[in-house]
Amino acid sequence: AREVNVYDCLLLQFVLGQRAEDGDKVLDYVLENISSDPGILQNELTLLGVFGRACRVLQSKSGDTSELLEECEGLIASLRDQYESFANDLENGFPLLRGSLWYSPQQVASAGQVLSPPMKENLKKLQALLEEALIVKLSLESQCDAEVLEKLLPKRLKQYEKGVSQM
């Protein structure tokens, strides 16, 4: 391999810590961080911002939606890429991890057992975010009323209103 990937961080279990059991703690920490991808939260926050701006533009009925549509398309592309990456990892048994010369088949299987359940949850989250982003995009393209978008995504409306009231 010519570049470092996230699974290479698993090697930290062998170099960090003073005692043998410290390696297990490091391994648990690394596996937990690999499986809880911060990119999902980043995309969720981006969606919330796009949702709020879309509501304002649709409410005013006088805003240019081209820039907002571009941002929405970028978010959709990012979500699709992330979804495909996670799905590929799960379907193919974590190929980057399996392809590493540093890990035995037993270590790969063990890491896969730990990583699979949270990654399946992440796939569900990404699917839901993708659906919501597509709803926002279609609402902007069709120039529907803001109330329609708000009713289609009530959870995002509550989050948006809560965020605005805290400013």
Chain center to CA of 43: 6
pLDDT in the model for residue 59:
92
Q: Residue 144 carries which DSSP code?
A: -
Q: Taking Cα atoms as reference points, which of 49, 54, 43 lies closest to residue 152?
A: 54
pLDDT at position 63:
74
Separation CA 84–CA 23 (nearest Å): 31
Would you say 76 and 134 are in contact if contact means Cβ atoms under 8 Å apart? Answer: yes
19 or 79: which leads in pLDDT: 79
Average pLDDT over residues 115-119: 90
Q: What is this structure's pTM?
A: 0.80
* 33-69 per-position pLDDT tens digit: 777 776 888 999 999 999 999 999 999 987 788 999 9
Residues 131/83, Cβ–Cβ less than 8 Å: no
The predicted pLDDT at position 79 comes to 96
User: What is the residue whose two structure tokens read 């490091």?
Assistant: 26
For residues 128-154, average pLDDT: 96
Q: How confident is the model at residue 167 (pLDDT cuts 50, 70, 90)?
A: very low
Decide if pLDDT at 31 tops 90.
no
Do residues 22 and 30 make contact, with C-beta atoms less than 8 angstroms apart?
no
Q: Is the pLDDT of residue 81 over 70?
A: yes
